[in-house]
Amino acid sequence: MILAIDIGGTHYKLGLVDAAGGIHQLRTGSTDRTGGADWMIARLNREAKELLEQAPAGVRACGIGFGGPVDFAAQRILSSTHVAGWNEIDLPGMLKAELGLPAVVENDANAGALGELRFGAGQGCRHLVYLTISTGIGGGIIIDGSLYRGAKGQAGERGHLPVLPGGPRCDCGNQGCLEALASGKSIGRRAEEACAARPERGSALLALAAGAALSAETVFAAAGQGDPLALELVDETCRYLGLGLAMVVNTLSPELIVLGGGVSRAGEALLAPLRQHTAAYTMPAHRELIRVEQARHPDEAVLLGAAALARTWVV
Amino acid sequence: MILAIDIGGTHYKLGLVDAAGGIHQLRTGSTDRTGGADWMIARLNREAKELLEQAPAGVRACGIGFGGPVDFAAQRILSSTHVAGWNEIDLPGMLKAELGLPAVVENDANAGALGELRFGAGQGCRHLVYLTISTGIGGGIIIDGSLYRGAKGQAGERGHLPVLPGGPRCDCGNQGCLEALASGKSIGRRAEEACAARPERGSALLALAAGAALSAETVFAAAGQGDPLALELVDETCRYLGLGLAMVVNTLSPELIVLGGGVSRAGEALLAPLRQHTAAYTMPAHRELIRVEQARHPDEAVLLGAAALARTWVV
């Protein structure tokens, strides 16, 4: 058994993962963004101890997927784009001191890519690209069956592909990044802007939201009911995502692209227009090779990949 | 010694390459595009036989770099974007039958990447991206010291990165590909268009061309003399190239990007604005990692890489 931890900007998860990818004693909670790194580390220590007390013997190691850049070789968290206090943090060392387990940390999108490769839609693939769309957008690259990390351990930042130069400002400091246009948060923001600009077209969306802020989930729900504005927003989202994926296909020619993260749960409502737009921007010779599939574990791929990494790295 | 051949849309080259990367008895000629594949194959057979007759004993194999998509695993040329008659051609088999040498064929940009890795600017690198800008734009990716070919042997088509959706039509059928904006041919075309649109700004360029069609070389020469229109064209070219390179850096985070091909001979006049624009489109966290250097063998990287491949593949 491996203790697996998934630290995101909105939620965190802990669980025990067996060698076959079964998840046991899953715990989830909301991330307190104002609490920063200190809050999260204290919370994880407490929850992990409770979990380990109830666990069968034989938890051998801990694997962590973190929502932000990680220096894998140095085993340090570099920063978080969503939560303060995560600069240059030796989280594996801290957890080892508290829990007595060897620990390994990896960026969550990389962990998700590995989770889908070992236990999900990518089983048997040699070259795979994983794109995760939730609050933000991340990605992981599998080459020849292994995670590709690039020169400094930070390859695969697909969220910051420049799809609309001069477009909306991204949290990274640039403009028109894929994440600033097609993440869950950005889909919601674009919906708010569209409704504010032309309120007469936004009535169905606003009714569905019932006073709450517009979310990607609401946009896909309204699109499923045939609302024209929501359908436009979905199509525009898939155009940006398709442009980003075409950059990946034209560069890496992977066997498979796997879409994970909360927004991927929209299923074919997202995948069908996304396949069309991706093909339109892809070099004709590569079009027939494109396979874009939904993750098999949109919610648990990070836990599964973090566990797989801990198994090969520290056990 | 290896017999090395470089088949381009404008020129072809043959030579003997020794184990240290020395090139002997180099022959070059102009490609007769109207002659198609038949003309080129007959010409190569004749020139190779002449060359081998004068060669010292011990030419062991033949390596070919071809300007178009190659199915490396099947050792077949798939097509040429520039010259007719190259569909599904078993060129290694044909040359072997005529010359009695085992032969291997690879896409020219991939061969160029390998040439710069083994004998040029990329010596000692693990992860390297090679971009070649001549008539067209090609690219090769080195990962962990080896060529990365992707699922179907055709990865690295950097010429068809979609940098300006809806932009000018590319030979590949799409619009706004990097090649349709920043190849040598496209730089010349954009210069012609700019001079036609505002002739009063084009006088220096047109004078330098002296009646010939405007070329990338003329644009860089005029920019070197401070001509404002030429400087604008160079800056715009570097903006498109920088956007394409940022896609590569944000995806692969290589140690080094090497620029080859005829246009790269512009040197710092190209590299300086290109580094600026690449940095502007790159995720801030990756900016300090960017290294963009000129190829050490802009004219011979393909021969050197084709020879290196033949040495490891067939000797």
| Separation of alpha carbons A241 and A182, rounded Å | 7
What average pLDDT does range A18-39 have in this prediction?
A: 93
User: Which token pair is A39?
Assistant: 């809050």
Residue A171 φ then ψ, to 5°: -60, -25
Q: Residue B192 carries which DSSP code? A: H
The helix or strand, by DSSP H or E, that contains position A54, with its residue range, turns out to be helix A36-54
Residue A168, pLDDT above cutoff 80: yes
pLDDT (0 to 100) of residue A84 = 84
Length of chain B, in residues: 315
Over residues A212-241, the mean pLDDT reads 96
* Fold: same for A2-113+299-313 and A124-294: yes
Rounded to whole angstroms, how far apart are CA atoms B295 and B257?
9
Q: Is a pLDDT exceeding 70 seen at residue A42?
A: yes
- A285/B172 touch (CB, cutoff 8 Å), yes or no: yes
Whether chain A has a CB inside 8 Å of the CB on B249: the answer is no
Task: Return the amino acid letter for B6.
Answer: D
- Nearest Cα to A8, choosing from A66, A90, A52? A66
Per-residue model confidence as pLDDT tens digits over B257-290:
999 998 999 999 999 999 999 999 988 777 877 8
Contacts of A210 (CB under 8 A, 6+ apart): none
Cβ atoms of B6 and B65 within 8 Å: the answer is yes
Contact of B277 with chain A, judged by CB distance below 8 Å, is answered with no
Q: In this complex, which of A157, A165, A254 lies closest to B250 when CB atoms are compared?
A: A157
Own/partner contacts of A233-237, CB < 8 Å, gap of 24 or more, are A233/A187, A233/A190, A233/A191, A233/A194, A234/A269, A234/A270, A234/A273, A235/A273, A235/A277, A236/A190, A237/A181, A237/A182, A237/A187, A237/A190, A237/A270
Taking the C-alpha atoms of residue A174 and residue A189, their distance in angstroms, rounded to an integer, is 17
Sign, Cα dihedral of A70, A155, A249, A234: positive
Please give the Cα distance from B11 to A52 (Å, whole number): 68
Any CB–CB contact under 8 A between B179 and chain A?
A: no
B156 min Cα distance to partner chain A (Å): 5
Our CA dihedral for A284, A289, A290, A296, rounded to 10 degrees, sits at 180
The minimal CB distance from A289 to the residues B151, B250, B284 is found for: B151
Q: In whole angstroms, what is the distance from residue A179 CA to residue A161 CA?
A: 8
A-to-B residue pairs, Cβ atoms closer than 8 angstroms: 124
Q: How far is B246 from chain A (nearest CA, A)?
A: 8
Q: How far apart are the C-alpha atoms of A105 and B294, rounded to whole Å?
A: 37
Q: Do A286 and B127 touch (CB under 8 A)?
A: no
Quote the tokens at residue A51.
Answer: 């979990």
CB within 8 Å: A250 and B141: no
Indicate whether A135 pLDDT > 70.
yes
**What CATH superfamily is the domain A2-113+299-313?**
ATPase, nucleotide binding domain (3.30.420.40)
Find the mean pLDDT for residues A215-235: 96
Comparing A3-17, A139-153, B183-197, B300-314, the range with the smallest average pLDDT is A139-153
Position B153 scores a pLDDT of 66
Closest chain B residue to A290, measured at CA: B151
Residues of B in contact with A165 (CB under 8 A): 243, 281
DSSP strand pairing (B11-17 vs B2-7): antiparallel
Strand B256-260 and strand A2-7: the pairing is unpaired
pTM of the entire predicted model: 0.85
β-bridge mates for residue B61, sequence order? B2
Contact B104, B158 (CB under 8 A): no
Beta strands at A256-260 and A128-133: parallel, antiparallel or unpaired:
parallel
**pLDDT the model gives residue A14:** 97
- Alpha-carbon gap, residue A151 to A87, rounded angstroms: 20
3-class DSSP assignment, residue A11: strand
3-state secondary structure (DSSP) of residue A66: strand
What would the CATH number be for the domain defined by B2-113+299-314? 3.30.420.40
Average pLDDT over residues A9-24: 94
Domain boundaries, chain B: 2-113+299-314, 124-294
Residue A179 has pLDDT above 90, yes or no: yes
Query: Measured between CB atoms, does B100 come within 8 Å of chain A?
Result: no
Instruction: Answer whether A156's CB lies under 8 Å from A70's CB.
Output: no
Whether B247 sits inside 8 A of A252 (CB atoms) is: no
Percent of chain A with pLDDT over 70: 97
Neighbour-count burial of A184, counting CB atoms closer than 10 A to its CB (0-12 exposed, 13-18 middle, 19+ buried) = buried
- For domain B124-294, is the CATH number 3.30.420.40? yes
- In the predicted model, what is the mean pLDDT of residues A267-283? 93
pLDDT at residue A184 in the model: 95
User: Taking CB atoms and an 8 Å limit, are B127 and A141 in contact across chains?
Assistant: no
What pLDDT does residue A155 have?
A: 65
Distance CA B229, CA B186 (A): 16
SS3 A151: coil
| DSSP, res A68 | S
**Residue A162, pLDDT score:** 87
Task: Dump pLDDT digits (tens) for A52-101.
Answer: 998 877 899 999 999 888 989 899 998 887 788 899 999 999 999 999 99
Does A167 touch chain B if contact means CB atoms closer than 8 Å? no
* Residue A238, pLDDT score: 97
A6-10, A178-182, A191-195, A307-311: the lowest-pLDDT one: A6-10
CB of B175 within 8 Å of a chain A CB? The answer is no
pLDDT at B312: 86
Q: Which residues of chain B have pLDDT under 50?
A: none
Cβ contact (<8 Å) for A141 and B251? yes
Q: What is the b/e burial string over A106-115, where b = at least 16 CB atoms within 10 angstroms of the residue's CB?
A: bbbbbbbbbb
- The rounded distance, in Å, linking the Cα atoms of B280 and B129 is 19
Q: Write down the pLDDT at residue B155.
A: 65
| CA-angle at B297, arms to B295 and B301, nearest 5° | 100
- By the 8 A CB rule, do B118 and B304 touch? yes
Contact A251 B284 (CB under 8 A): no
Where would I find the H helices in chain B?
Answer: 36-54, 91-99, 108-119, 179-182, 184-197, 203-209, 216-224, 228-252, 268-281, 284-287, 301-314
For chain B, the first-to-last Cα distance in angstroms comes to 10
Contacting residues of A for B247, CB less than 8 Å apart:
161-162, 247, 251
